[in-house]
Amino acid sequence: MLQIVTRKFFEVLFFVLFITFVSFLFVRLAPGDPVLTILNVDELSVSQEQVEALRDDMGFNKPLLVQYGLWLMNFIQFDFGLSYATGQPVLDMIIMGLPATIELAAGALFVMLLVSIPLGSLSALYRNSWIDQISRLLSILGAAIPSFWLGLILIDLFGVRLHLLPTMGRDGIISLVLPSLTLGLAISSVYVRLLRSSLLDSLSQEFIRASRARGLSESRIFFAHALRHSLPPVITVFGVSLGSLIGGVVVIEVLFAYPGIGKLVVDAIRQRDYPLIQGYILIMAIIVFIVNTCVDLSYRYLNPEMKLKERETK
Amino acid sequence: MTGLSIRLPRAKKHRFQAVTAFVFLVFFSAVFIYTFLYLRHDPTLTDLDRRLLGMSLQHPFGTDQLGRDVMTRLLLGGQQTIGYSLLALIVALLIGVPFGLISGYQRGIVDRVFMRMGDAFLAFPDTIVAIVLSGLLGPGIGNLVLAIVMVKWVSYARLVRSTVLAESQKDYVLIARINGLSPRKIMRKHLLPHVVGHVLVLASLDLGKIILLISAFSYIGLGAQPPMPEWGAMLNEARPYFETRPELMIYPGLAIVSVVLLTNMLGDYFRDRFDVKKEERQ
Amino acid sequence: MILSLEQVSIGTREKKIVKNVSLSIREGEWYALVGQSGSGKSLLSQAIGRMLSPNLQMEGKIFFKDKDLLSLAPKEMRGIRGQKLSYIFQDYQGSFTPFRTIGQHFEEYQKAHGNRDSKGRKAKTIEALESVGLDDTLYNRYPFQLSGGQLQRVSIAMSLLLSPDLLIADEITTALDSVSGHRVLELLAKRQKETGCTILFITHDWRHVKRYASRLAVMKEGEIVESGGKHRILDHPQHEYTKRLIQAAPTLGKGLPSGIQEVESV
C-alpha cells in the first residue's frame, strides 16, 4: 500500500512541478503585463517610473531561472504570493473559499447517495417493474441534462416563483439545498444504473443463496452481503469521474454564486490573476491525490483478497 | 417480486432508438444546412428596437435581449456547440488511435513512454486541465478544445492499445506477419477494423459528455465568448431575463438535452452492436 | 417420518420440471436421491427449503415433522431454514461470502438464530471447527484462503452447528478430488452417527450410495422412477433406467453391487 501511495504522490508532484513551471513561463511571456494589471492602468494614469519601480519590486527584472527558484521556494512553503486582483495573500483567499466548496461537494454526494441507493436497489430487486422503467427513463434523461440548466430551472421554480429557497450566496444550510440538489441529481444518473447492474450481478451469486439457506433475513442478506458486494464498480466509476465532479462544483458555484474556490478560480481566470490560479492548481492537485488514495484504500478494505494477495507476494 | 417479462435481444431494443436518433440527426443536419445557405437573419446583428419580442412569423422563437433572432442563434449555436465538440473528439481520435496502434503493436520505446505519460495525464481530470489552460492562455473556445483533446486522446490510445494487444495474439495476425506484410499494413488492414468498433462506442458516448462540458464551461465564461451563439453562452446571456422571458433560457437547454440524448442513444446502439461478448461468441 | 413429500411439482408457467414427486425420509437415516444432471434433484432439494427463484411455481405438500412447509409464513420458514433444516452445497467457494472471514460467517449465522452471547458463539464456533478436524487459525481466514476440502468441512461444521433435524447435502463432493471427497464423506458419516441427524444426500455417484446410504430414490427427468432400500435396489433393480444407471457406474472390488459379499459356494 505504501508503494501505491508514494507512486501516486510522485505522479502528483511531477504534474504540479510541470504545470507550475509552464504557468510560470506563461506569466512572464503571456499577453497582458501583470504589472499593468495590478496598477489598473485603465483607471489611473501611471507614470513610466512607477511601472518600472513596481516591476523591479516584484522581481520581474531578475533572470528567469532565479525568479523561478525564488518563486518555487515560496510555493513549497505555501506562500503563493498576493492576488493580482485583490492584493490579498492567495493562501488566505483559498482557505476562505475551501469550506464552501467542501460543503457543496459533500451536499451533492449526500443527495446522490440519497437518490441512487434506493432507486438503484429497487430497480434491481424489482427488475422490469414500473420502478425500474421509471428509473431507467430518469437515468437516460439525467445523463443528457446539463447541470447548470437543471440549476436554472430549479432556481426559477423554487427561488423565483415559489420563493421557497435562496438562490444565491451562502447564508446557512438552507442556501446549500438548491446547489446540492442540482449537482447531486446531475451526477446520480450514472450511479443509479451502475448500482442496478452491479446488484443484479451480486444477487445472482451463489453466496446469496447460501446465506438464505442459513436462514438469514432478507434485509441482512441485501445490505450486508449483496449491496456491499456491489460497491467496488461504483467506487471505480466514482474515482474516474472525479473530474466531472470537480467541474460540476465549479459550474454550480458560479451559477449559485456560492463562494467556494471554484468560483474564485473562474473569476481569477477572467482577471488573469495568475498567483490565484496557481494556488488553485496546487490545492486541487492535493485534493485529487487525497481522493484517489482514499478510493484505492477503500478498494483494499472492501476486497480483502487484494490486500492479502499483495502481502503474500512480498 | 415481479413475474416474467419478454426480453428482446438487446440490439433489437436499441435499434429502434438508434434509428430514431439517426433520423433526428439527419433532420437536424438538414435544418442546419438550410439555415447556413439561406440565412435570413444575421445572428450577431443587434437591433435594440426589437428586443425581447415574442414568437412571430418573422421570428419563430422571438428575439433575445439584443434584438437578435433567437431561432437563427439556436441553429447556429448548434453548429458551434456540436461543431467544436466534434472537433475535439476527432482531433483526440486522430492522435489517440495511431498512438494506440503503434504502442500496442510495435511496443518498444513508444509503448513504454506512452504508458508513463498516459498514467500521468490520466491522473488529471479533464476539468482541471481545462481550467489550467484557460488560466494560462485565457478563456476561449480554442483553449477549451485543446484541453479536452489533451485529456481524451489518452483514453482512446489506451483502448486501442489494449484491443491491439489482445488481437495480436490471434492467428490471423501471426499469419499476416508470416506472409511478410509490413507492420503498417497489418495495423491498417487487420487491426484497425477491430479497433473501430470499440472506439466508436467510446467516442459516441464521449460526444455527449464533451458537448455538456463545452456548454457548461461556456456558460461560466470559460469557453465560447459572446457574441458567439453557442448554446451554453446563450444560456448565460439569458440568465438576467428569465423572469420575463424564460423561453430564452429554455430553448438552448432543450437543444442541448436533445442532442446529447440522441448521441447517447446512438452510443447505446453501438455498444450493443459491438459488444465484446458477442464478438467472442462469433 | 421426518420429511414427507406428497405430489410435489415444480415448474414455470409453460413447463413442469419436477413432476408429482412423492417420497418420505425416516428420522436418522441417510437417504440418497440419485439421478443424472438435469433430472431436477437439486431443484427439488431447494424447494424443500423454499428457496426457488421467483419465476418458478410449486404444487403439492412438503411435510417436515408434520408441518406443511408450503403453508408457513416467511418468518416461520426462516426459523426452520438454517436451524432445523440445513444445507451443504456443491460450490464450496460459492457458499461463502468472499469478504467475510470464516469466523464472521459463524457469528452472523448464530446471531441470526438468536444466540446473543458473543463469547458463547465464539466458543461454539471453535468447537465446531475442531469437530471437523480444522484448527482455530481458520477463524480469521477468508474463504479464498482455504482449499475445497477445508471449505466443505467448514460447511459441514456450520450445517450441524445448530443441531438440525435434517441436513440436505447437494452433490457436496462432485467438485472435489476423490481423496478430499472421501475424507469429507467419512467426516459427515461420523458426525451423523454422533448427532443422529437425518441426511438427504443428493448425488450421481453410486459408490457413495453403496457406502453410506440406507434408502434411496432414483430420479429421471423430474420423476421418481424407483425408490426403496439400498440393497434391494442395487442388487435387484426393477426399473430399466435404474438398471442402466447401475450398469454404467464403475465398480471396484468384489461382491454384489450393494456391497454384500456373495457366499462362496461350499
Rounded to 10 degrees, the C-alpha dihedral A219/A225/A230/A236 comes to: 130
A&C contacts, CB < 8 Å = 69
Locate A21 and state its grid cell.
Answer: 513551471
Between positions 1 and 30 of B, the ones with CB within 8 A of C are 1-4
Whether residue B13 is found in the same domain as residue B143: no
Residue C260 maps to a domain? no
Whether residue B217 is found in the same domain as residue B260: yes
C-alpha distance from C54 to closest chain B C-alpha (Å): 7
Contacts of C52 in chain B (CB under 8 A): none
Shortest CB distance from A206 goes to which of C49, C94, C109? C94
Q: Looking at residue C141, what is its pLDDT?
A: 92
Residue C147 maps to a domain? yes
Residue C263: pLDDT above 70?
Answer: no
Contacts of B6 in chain C (CB under 8 A): none
pLDDT in tens, B156-192: 888 888 888 888 888 888 888 888 888 777 777 777 7
Looking at per-residue pLDDT, the higher value among A3 and C50 belongs to: C50
What is the pTM for the complete model shown? Answer: 0.83
Sheet (strand C30-35) strand order: C85-88, C166-170, C198-203, C30-35, C215-220, C223-229
CATH of the domain at C189: 3.40.50.300
Report residue C124's pLDDT band, with 50, 70 and 90 as the boundaries: very high
Q: Which structural domain, as residue segments, surrounds residue B180?
A: 69-281
Whether residue B13 is found in the same domain as residue B132: no
Instruction: Mark yes or no for CB contact C142/A305 under 8 Å.
Output: yes
A240 touches chain B (CB under 8 A): no
Residue B113 maps to a domain? yes
Bridge-based pairing of strands C16-25 and C3-11 is antiparallel
Residue B19 maps to a domain? yes
Locate A177 and state its grid cell.
Answer: 439545498
Residue C265 maps to a domain? no
Residue B55 maps to a domain? no
**CB contact at 8 A, B258 and B250:** no
Give how far the C-alpha of residue B84 lies from the chain's centroid of Cα atoms, to the nearest Å: 8
Report residue C218's pLDDT band, with 50, 70 and 90 as the boundaries: very high
Whether residue B80 is found in the same domain as residue B210: yes
Contacts of C98 in chain A (CB under 8 A): 207, 229, 303-305
Whether residue B193 is found in the same domain as residue B237: yes
Q: Looking at residue C94, what is its pLDDT?
A: 92
Contacts of C51 in chain A (CB under 8 A): 209, 212-213
Contacts of C12 in chain B (CB under 8 A): 4
Q: Looking at residue B250, what is its pLDDT?
A: 85
Q: Looking at residue C39, what is its pLDDT?
A: 85
For chain C, the domain total comes to 1
Q: Is the dihedral of CA C56, A227, B123, A278 positive or negative?
A: positive
Residue B187 maps to a domain? yes
**CB contact at 8 A, C210 and C251:** no
Whether residue B21 is found in the same domain as residue B129: no
Please compute the mean of the pLDDT values over residues C61-88 and round it to a whole number: 90
Whether residue B34 is found in the same domain as residue B115: no
Instruction: Mark yes or no for CB contact A127/B212 under 8 Å.
Output: no
Please compute the mean of the pLDDT values over residues C174-203 and round it to a whole number: 91
Whether residue B27 is found in the same domain as residue B154: no
Between positions 65 and 84 of B, the ones with CB within 8 A of C are none
Whether residue B14 is found in the same domain as residue B84: no
A211 touches chain C (CB under 8 A): yes
Q: Is A256 exposed, middle or buried (0-12, 13-18, 19+ CB in 10 A)?
A: buried
Residue B52 maps to a domain? no
Return the number of other C-beta atoms located less than 10 Å from residue B208's C-beta: 22
C-alpha distance from A297 to closest chain B C-alpha (Å): 16
Q: Taking chain A, what is the end-to-end CA distance rounded to the nearest angstrom?
A: 12
Q: Looking at residue C242, what is its pLDDT?
A: 87
Q: Which residue of A has its CA nearest to C88?
A: A210
pLDDT tens, position by position, for chain A (314 residues)? 677 777 777 777 776 777 677 666 666 665 555 666 666 545 556 677 776 777 676 666 666 677 777 777 777 777 777 777 777 888 889 999 999 999 999 999 999 999 999 999 999 999 888 999 999 999 989 999 999 999 988 888 888 777 778 878 888 888 899 999 999 999 999 999 999 999 999 999 999 999 999 999 999 999 999 999 999 999 988 988 888 899 899 999 999 999 999 999 888 888 878 788 878 887 887 888 888 888 888 888 888 877 666 555 54
Residue B48 maps to a domain? no
CA dist., res. C164 & res. C196, Å (int): 10
Residue B3 maps to a domain? no
Q: Please list the ranges in chain B whose pLDDT falls under 70.
A: 1-18, 31-32, 34-60, 120, 122-123, 275-282
A210 touches chain C (CB under 8 A): yes
CA dist., res. A102 & res. A116, Å (int): 21
ipTM, two decimals: 0.87
Return the number of other C-beta atoms located less than 10 Å from residue A34's C-beta: 19
CA dist., res. B134 & res. A281, Å (int): 12
A209 touches chain C (CB under 8 A): yes
Report residue C164's pLDDT band, with 50, 70 and 90 as the boundaries: very high
CATH of the domain at B200: 1.10.3720.10
Residue C55 maps to a domain? yes
For chain B, the domain total comes to 2
Whether residue B85 is found in the same domain as residue B29: no
Q: Which structural domain, as residue segments, surrounds residue C190?
A: 3-248
> Could you tell me what percentage of chain C is helix, strand and coil, using 3-state DSSP and rounding each to the nearest 5?
40, 25, 35
pLDDT in tens, B133-163: 887 777 888 888 998 898 888 888 888 888 8
Whether residue B265 is found in the same domain as residue B136: yes
Residue C144 maps to a domain? yes
